[in-house]
Amino acid sequence: MNSTAHVDEEVHGKLLDIDLHGKLSRADYARIAPETERLIRQYGKIRILVTMHDFHGWDAGALWEDIKWNARHFNHIERLAIVGEKTWHKWMTGFCRPFTSAEVRYFTLDQRHANGSTNSTTVIR
């Protein structure tokens, strides 16, 4: 597991499971981006599960890093699942679609943990 003040990251094969909390900074992004780059080199296309729990967005530097990363990896994401707890988290799913060729889906925290399941591969399939 790779962690920063606002990000917890786990890898399960070609699935990157990211938990975002607090406000993401450029420094946080700089620490997690190398793992995504490594997975893309290894698998070509990867799946990403982003869980936003008590997440308050990005600062300007992190948002800029995210935009640049998305432009570079438009075709490298096979599936993207966003799990959130607020209306704007669901809105993020629609916002992401033009920036990726991936299948993008939104789930509530309750849906992710339905039946006691915390298995990330169940959500991203």
Residue bearing the bigger pLDDT, 115 or 94: 94
Q: pTM for this structure?
A: 0.79
What burial letters (b/e) apply to 38-59, b meaning 16+ CB within 10 Å? ebbeeeeebbbbbbbeebeebe
Q: What pLDDT is attached to residue 1?
A: 53
Residue 35: closest CA among 63, 73, 92 = 73
Q: What pLDDT is attached to residue 84?
A: 87
Q: Label each residue of 27-50 as H, E or C.
A: HHHHHHHHHHHHHHHHHCCEEEEE
Q: How many independent structural domains does the chain possess?
A: 1
8-24 pLDDT, tens digit each: 778 888 999 989 888 99
What's the CATH code of the domain at 109? 3.30.750
The answer to whether residue 96 scores a pLDDT higher than 50 is yes
Query: Residue 118: which domain range?
Result: 2-124
27-36 pLDDT, tens digit each: 988 888 888 8
